[in-house]
Amino acid sequence: MRSYLCISFCLIGVVLGGPAIPETDPHGTVPAEEQAPAPGRQMSEPPRPDLPQDVAEAWKTTAQMLYQVPGTDRPFIEERRAIQNALARSLGKASAQWGMSGETADTLLAMARLNYRHGFGPEGLSVLEGLDRGNLSETQELRRAALELALGLIDPRDRPLSDRAQRMLGPDYRSWPDQQVFLALQSVRNNRFEAAADYLPLVRDRLERLPAGYAAVILPGLLEAAIATEQWQVARDFALEFRKHPALRESSAFRYLLGRAAEAGGDILAAFDSYRLAGEQHDVHGHRARTAIVALGLRHDLIGIPEARELLQRETHLWRGDAYALSVLSDLAALDRADGDRVAAVHTYGAILDRFPRDPAAALARQKARALIAEIYEEGASGDLPLSAFLQAHRRIAPDFRFQAGFDVQAERFADRFLDVGSTLVAAQEYEAVHDHLAVGRDLGLSDVSDRRLDELRLKQAESLELGGQYEEALAALREPLASGTAELEDRRSQLLAQLYADTGQTGALLETSVSAPDIPFLRLKANAYFDREDWADAQATFQTIWDETGQELPFEDAIRLLLSSYRNDDLTTTLALSREFPELTGIPQWSAIAEGLVDPAAELWPLRQDTARERMESASRTLENLGTVQPGTN
């Protein structure tokens, strides 16, 4: 490690434009000429000659809060305990400030300042919230604002600055000597390095005034800004500050930034080595170093797109939740498309929508995803995409886009395609999934879906199940009445229920169904149900209606059952008319003779006994029943 650090500091000298320096000794001591400034210089600075005396004196208030205090080298826990004891004592004193004494307010400010000195942003801000119920003096308000600004700029939660802190950066506080320091820190925090460029030399010169703990937090950002704006001397000076902080010297931040500097100087090998070492850490700079290796490899043709995709895909699981994670997803989507993998690109866009729904990048990701989804599903629905590929694509895309507007239409096209090729189970499952997600989305207020739309999907699901022979499942899907009350859909439901009742032998339930305008298939279901229940009159009447509608196109099976129904209903006229109307319907030679025998008066032809005539009629009836099992065109 010491060898690496020596190389690192030499690299600073080479890349950042200054001579190399030796590593500090193991005890971390600093040469006398580089030690902390004298106490008189730390607490405040000489008033600027261009400022009125009262203004210059006023700014000493912020200097006292923000600058390093000599002799404050006690352990954090010990100093914190002392402040807590002081706070406990102050809480027992009478208050003239709406429930909070001036001593209590000062003690809370001291606690917040302790956190500031050690670089604990959220903790310090939490302490300052305790001042909300106090009526602070003007001096206390100024101290609070200065601390809120300094702590807010190192808050890793990326929360906006308070109004008090933001005003410290405005024109009303232009005379504040340290305003430019914090303007620079604000720009660095927002990754607006160019905006910070002019302030960086001033920040470098005033850095020694700040507490070591706070300086350690802001140094990585300052060094990155100097590298990004190519201020190499300033960058070198910031880099040298890292050696004053043992934790920073071996940090992923330092190694990553060395890699940035080396890459800027054209030393690819040194950059790779620094990125590799930084990438071993599981923090933000380790993440940035790993992605920098991918970018470096692509930029210099050291890795191909497939390998880069694999590395970035892995990184999406290792690091989430911030702008850097979003950048990785955006880069991965671009590489997916460059590699011709549209489905993977859609999946990556879905990850952006899922993890960063409120980021402006989500709108662009949604737009790009919709365009790719439209292409994929158009090819799938038209048959240009193989069924297996279409199925795999849908199963990968659907989980991310079920609740996205318009995806239900694409998913329905997927189901229609599989229903067309006979894959009824896949189709039924998809119709159900589309229905359920639309219903949930409507309940959650995510989309506006009509009852008719939901009813249509439910009917499609039941129809697919019926075609696949899953009758009980289809009946279960139709158990609830339709919500839309549309006459057209109600008739469609009744028609489907009638078919399902016929499939499951529920003739009683079938005969109870009705539609507003019965068509031939529905009439046939009813007629067959009457026939099976030996209700010859209703069976004949219903088959007669079918005959009236179809004329010479009356199917063979319907003609047989009409003939039997009319005969058993003692309607010999209809029986004779039917037999004469369709003598060649089946192609069976005996058809005409059998039909004629049914209605030919036996007493006029043969002196048969009554029982013999009845036996002949029953025999003919059995023959006709057997004919009902014969398929058209077979002999």
With the CA atoms of 85, 91, 96 and 97 taken in that order, what torsion angle do they form, in degrees rounded to the nearest 10?
A: 90
AA letter at 590 = Q
User: What average pLDDT does range 469-493 have in this prediction?
Assistant: 95
Handedness of CA 230, 231, 233, 234 (dihedral sign): negative
pLDDT at 518 over 50: yes
- Give the residue among 76, 75, 130 at the shortest CA–CA distance from 107: 130
Which pLDDT value is given to residue 25?
A: 36
Contacts of 549 by beta carbon, 8 Å cutoff, 6+ apart: 520, 523
Ranges of H-type helices in 208-283:
212-228, 232-241, 246-249, 252-264, 268-278
Instruction: Read off the pLDDT band of 598 (50, 70, 90).
Output: low
Tell me: the pLDDT tens digits for 51-85?
344 444 556 777 777 988 776 678 999 999 999 99
Q: Is residue 135 over pLDDT 80?
A: yes
The percentage of the chain sitting over the pLDDT mark of 90, rounded to a whole number, equals 69
For helices 407-420 and 387-401, the axis angle rounded to 10 degrees is 150
pLDDT tens per residue across span 546-595: 999 998 888 888 988 898 898 889 888 887 788 778 765 445 444 555 55
Question: How many residues are present in the chain?
Answer: 635
Do residues 23 and 243 touch, judged by C-beta distance below 8 A? yes
Indicate the residue type of 574.
T
pLDDT of 16 higher than 60: no
Reduced to 3 states (helix: H, G, I; strand: E, B; else coil), residue 78 is helix
User: What sections of 319-450 are H helices per DSSP?
Assistant: 323-338, 342-355, 360-382, 387-401, 407-420, 424-443
Sign of the torsion formed by the C-alpha atoms of 543, 546, 551 and 556: negative
Average pLDDT over residues 228-245: 96
Encode pLDDT of 371-426 as tens digits.
999 999 999 999 999 999 999 999 999 999 999 999 999 999 999 999 999 999 99
Per-position DSSP letters for 514-540, written without gaps between them: --SS--HHHHHHHHHHHHHTT-HHHHH
pLDDT confidence bin for 13, thresholds 50/70/90: very low
CA distance 510 to 519: 15
Task: Give the count of alpha carbons within 13 A of 104, CB side only.
Answer: 21
Torsion of CA 223, 226, 231, 237, to 10 degrees: -20
> For 347-361, what is the mean pLDDT?
96
- Rounded Cα–Cα distance for residues 67 and 486 (Å): 76
Confidence of residue 609 (pLDDT cuts 50, 70, 90): very low
Question: Is 52 within 8 Å of 24 (Cβ atoms)?
Answer: no
